[in-house]
Structure 1
Amino acid sequence: MNRRAFIAGAAVLTATPSLALGKGAADGLGGIRIPASACDSELRGLSPTGGKDYWASGSKGWLVRGKGERQDAMRIVGAEALDFRGLHAFSDSHVLAMSAGPGDASQLWRTRDGGKTWVQVTTNQDPEGFWDSIAFVDSRRGFILGDPTQGRFTVLYAADGGETWSRLKPEGVPPADDGEGAFAASNGCFAIGRHGQAAFCTGGAGKARVYLSRGGGGVFVALDTPILADAPSKGAFACAFAKDGTLWVCGGDYKNPTAEGVNLARLAPGQITFEAVPAPAGYLSGLDIHGGTVMATGLAGTIVSHKGAPFQQVSTAPMNSVRLTGKGAGVLCGPGGTIGLWKA
C-alpha cells in the first residue's frame, strides 16, 4: 500500500438556481432546485453530512464540497484521470472517495481536512477486478463491492475505518452467472440495513438479482427480482433498506432511459420474493429512503412516494444519485456536474 499526500486545487461557484418541476409539484411533493454546475463531471458519488452540507464526486477526478447552492469543486493532484463513483463522508472534514475502473484504476483516497490534502489509502491489486460501490455500517466497519472475479462477486471488508481491506470468504457469496455484474452508477448498488442486513444488486445476465445477507454480510443468498436484465445495459442499479427492514431495488436500461417495464420492486421483511411496485416508466439508477419517503432517480427524472402513496414524478431533469436528508428534503447529482436540491 502506497501513501502519498496531495494538495487539491479548489474552485468556488455560487449561482442563481433553476427550478425543475414535475407533476408532483402541485400535490405538495415539491421540486428540485438546480444551481449552475461547478465542474464538468459525471457526478455519481454523493454523501450528505448534516443540514445543507454534502459531498459529491465523479469523473475526471472531480469532487464537490457543497453547502446548499454553494459548491466548492476540487481535483486531487495525481488523480485527475480517476472516476470517483463511490463516496463516504464520515463528517464535513473526513471523507473517503472510491474510484471505479479496471484493475488499478479502482482506488481509495482519504481526506481528513475537508479536501485540502488527500492520501491514497489503497489500490485494487486484482487486474481482473472492478470496484462498484463503498458503504459503511458505522465509523469503523465498511464494505467495498466489486464485480465478479474467480466466478464470484468481490466483497471487501474493513473494520478500522477503511484503512485495511480483506476479501470475504468466497464461499459466502453465491456464484455469479455469466455476464452478471454490478453497476457503478450511483454508489447505490450496495446497501446496509439497521439490523445487520447487507445487500447488493446486479444485472446484465438475463435476470436482475439481489444478494441478501441477514447476518452482517458473512453469507449472502441470491434472490431474483422482476426487473429485466436481458442485455448488458439492463438490470438492478441501486438498493436501499427502509427502517422496517423492507428492501427496495430500482433499475432499468441505461441505454434506453424512457423504456417501459418494471423499474422498482420491494422485498417485505422476512419474505423471499420481490414484488413489482407501480411507478412512472423510465430508468432509475439511484434510490434512498427516509421515514415514509421513498425517492428514486435516473436519467428519466426523479420520482417520490410519501407514506405509501403512489409514486409521482417530481422532476424530468436527468440525475444519477439521490440521498435524502429528511422526509421532505434531499440532494441529488448527475451529468455535467449537476447538483439538485429537493424540497417538498
Structure 2
Amino acid sequence: MRRLGSTRRWGRTSRVVAAGVACAAALAGLTATPAEARTLEPGARSGQLGTVHWQLKDTGTPEVRFRGLAAVDRDTAWLAGTAGTVLRTTDGGASWRNVSPPGAAGLQFRDVETFDARRAVVLAIGEGEQSRVYRTEDGGTTWTESFRNTDPRAFYDCLAFFDHRHGLAMSDPVDGRFRILSTRDGGRSWRVLPADGMPPALEGEAGFAASGQCLVASGPKDVWLATGGAARARVLHSGDRGRTWTAADTPVPAGDPARGVFALAFRDRTHGLAVGGDFRADQPSPLAAALTPDGGRTWRPAAAAPPAYRSGAAWLPHSRTAALAVGPTGTDLTTDAGRTWRTVDTGSYDTVSCTHDLSCWAAGEKGRAARLEP
C-alpha cells in the first residue's frame, strides 16, 4: 500500500509448560472478569491488560518500526521492519539476533511468515523492484531472494501461507484487478496467477501494508484479502487458494485513501474479524471494526468498536470469543467474538500474533516488541 509510511530439554519444556499454564489461567481470568474491572485506572502500570500485561522485550533497534511479526511459540518469534531489518529470538525475547538479508538495508519489510524456528519468508514492499520475497531455511544465517517484482505497476503488500508449501502474496491492482502471486514449494519459487478469477477493483482501491494482515488464510484453501482507499472497504475471499474470488462490502468507513480495512483475523474458515479505520493521527475512526459469521460473505459492524484506528488483530489462543486488536494508540480486547471491544492498554503496536502454546506477541514503532505475560 503506497500510503503508509535430555534433562536440559525436559527442564526447559517444563518451564515452558508452566509459563503457558500460568498465562492460560491469566487469560481465562481476563476473559471472565467483568468489563468494568478490566478498565485501566489512572496510574495503573503501563502495558496492563487486566490480569495479564504486555512485557516489553528490548530489541536494541529503536530506529526500526516492525510491522511484520510471526510468532512460533512462547520462545521463538520473528520481526521484520524498516531498513531491511529482520530479527529473531529463541529465548522469549531476552535476546534478539539480527538476521537481516545481506544488501537489504534499503528495503521495507512489512510481512514475515514462518514455519518454525528456522524457516521463514519475508516480504519487502514498494513499487517495482522494491517488492521482493526472501526465504531462509537456517534461522536467517543465509537467505535466498526468491522473487523480485519487475512490473513497475505492481506493489506487493502481504503474504499468507496455507501450509508449509502453499502460499500467496498480493499486490495492489494491476490493469484493474488485484494481482496474486502463488507458491507451491514453501516460497522457493513464485508465479502470477491468472487474473480472470479476480473481480474488478474499485476506483482507488488498494491494500494496506500495515501489519502483514491484509491477506490471511485459514485451513488448506481459504484466504481473505482486505482493502481500502475506495468508496467502500471490502473483503475478498477465495476458497481455492487464490484462483477465484468473491467480494463483500464491509461497514468499516472508507471513501478516502487513508481509510479502510487494515487487518483480518479468522479463527476458522467461518468466523472472522476486520479492523481498520483512518490511519491519520488527527482523524477519528468510528465503526472501525466488523465481524463475519459466514466466512466473509457478509459483515456487520461491531456494536462497540475500538475508539481509534487499529492495524492488527489476532484471536487469543484456543478461544472462540476472545481476540486482541492493536494500533498506535492502544490495544483493545473483545470477549464476545468482536461484537464489543474495550481498550486495555495505551502502548503503541502495529501488529499482533498468537500461538497455540498460549502465547501472544506484539510489535511496532521504535523497535517495540512485547509478549503477553501473566
TM-score by length of 2: 0.81
Q: Does the 8 Å contact 2:272/2:296 carry over to 1?
A: no
**Correspondence 1:245 to 2:270:** yes
Q: Give unpaired runs (5+ residues) of structure 1.
A: 1-18
* Residues 286 and 320 in structure 1, CA contact (< 8 A), matched pair in contact too: yes
Q: State the match for 1:69 in structure 2.
A: 93
What is the rounded CA distance, in whole Å, between the counterparts of 1:244 and 1:86 in structure 2? Answer: 22
- Cα distance in 2 for partners of 1:328, 1:310 equals 23
Paired residue for 1:32? 54
1:167-201 deviation per Cα after TM superposition (whole angstroms, max 9, x unaligned): 22211111111111000001100011226321100
Aligned amino acid, residue 242 of structure 1: R
Question: Which residue pairs with 1:330 in the alignment?
Answer: 360
1:276 is displaced (CA, Å) by 0.6
Matched to 1:235, the amino acid is: G
The residue that corresponds to 1:176 in the other structure is 201
Q: Deviation of residue 269 (structure 1)?
A: 1.8
Give unpaired runs (5+ residues) of structure 2.
Answer: 1-44
Deviations 1:73-124, CA, capped at 9 Å, x for gaps: 3432211111111111111111111101110001111222111222211201
- What's the counterpart of residue 284 of structure 1? 310
Equivalent residue in structure 2 for 1:224, among 238, 244, 249:
249
Indicate conservation of the 8 Å contact 2:182/2:191, yes or no. Answer: yes
Amino acid corresponding to residue 63 of structure 1 in structure 2? V
Secondary structure of the 1:154 match is strand
* Aligned residue identity for 1:101: G
Instruction: Kindly indicate whether the alpha-carbon contact (under 8 Å) linking 1:20 and 1:33 is maintained by their aligned counterparts in 2.
Output: no
Shift of the 283–271 alpha-carbon distance from structure 1 to 2, 3 Å rule, reads: closer
Is the CA contact 1:61–1:76 (under 8 Å) kept in the aligned structure 2? Answer: yes
What letter is aligned with 2:71?
P
The size of the alignment, in residue pairs, is 322
1:144-176 per-residue CA deviation (whole Å, 9 max, x = no partner) reads 011111110011111111122112221111111
The residue aligned with 2:33 is none
1:299 aligns with 2:328: yes
**Higher share of residues assigned strand:** 1
User: Pick from 47, 54, 68: which aligns with 1:21?
Assistant: 47
- In terms of mean alpha carbon deviation, does 168-177 or 187-196 score higher? 187-196
TM, length-normalised to structure 1: 0.88
Q: Which structure 2 residues correspond to residues 112-151 of structure 1 after superposition, within 5 A?
A: 112-151=137-176
Q: Percent identity?
A: 30
Question: Offset of 1:327 from its aligned partner?
Answer: 8.4
Following superposition, the deviation at residue 271 of structure 1 comes to 6.8
Check conservation: 1:38, 1:73, Cα contact below 8 A: no
- Distance in 2, Cα, partners of 1:118 & 1:74: 9
Separation in 2, partners of 1:54, 1:117? 17
- Choose from 34, 44, 54 the match for 2:77: 54
- State the 1:255 CA deviation: 0.8
Answer whether contact 2:74 2:357 (CA < 8 A) is retained.
no
Q: Aligned-pair RMSD on alpha carbons?
A: 1.9
Partner of 1:234: 259
Alpha-carbon contact 1:285-1:320 (below 8 Å) kept? yes
Change (3 A) 1:103 1:53: same
Contact persistence 2:163–2:220 (CA under 8 A): no
CA distance, structure 2, for counterparts of residue 271 and residue 150 of structure 1: 25
Tell me how far 1:261 sits from its aligned partner.
Answer: 0.6
Q: Does residue 94 of the first structure (1) align with residue 119 of the second (2)?
A: yes
Give me the whole-angstrom Cα distance separating, in 1, the residues matched to 2:140 and 2:187.
17
- CA–CA distance in structure 2, aligned partners of residues 332 and 258 of structure 1: 24
User: Shift in Å at residue 42 of structure 1?
Assistant: 1.1
Q: Is the 8 A contact 1:250 1:287 kept in 2?
A: yes
SS of structure 2 residue aligned to 1:229: coil
Aligned to 1:12: none
- 1:260/1:129 CA distance change after superposition, 3 Å: closer
- Which residue identity does 2:64 align to in structure 1? S
2:363 and 2:299 map into 1 onto residues whose CA distance is 28
Distance 1:205 1:152 in 2: 13
Distance (Å, rounded) in 2 between the aligned partners of 1:270 and 1:90: 25
Greater shift, 177-186 or 305-314, is seen at 305-314
The change in CA–CA distance for 1:270 and 1:191 in structure 2 (over 3 A counts) is closer
> Separation in 2 of the partners of 1:202 and 1:97?
21
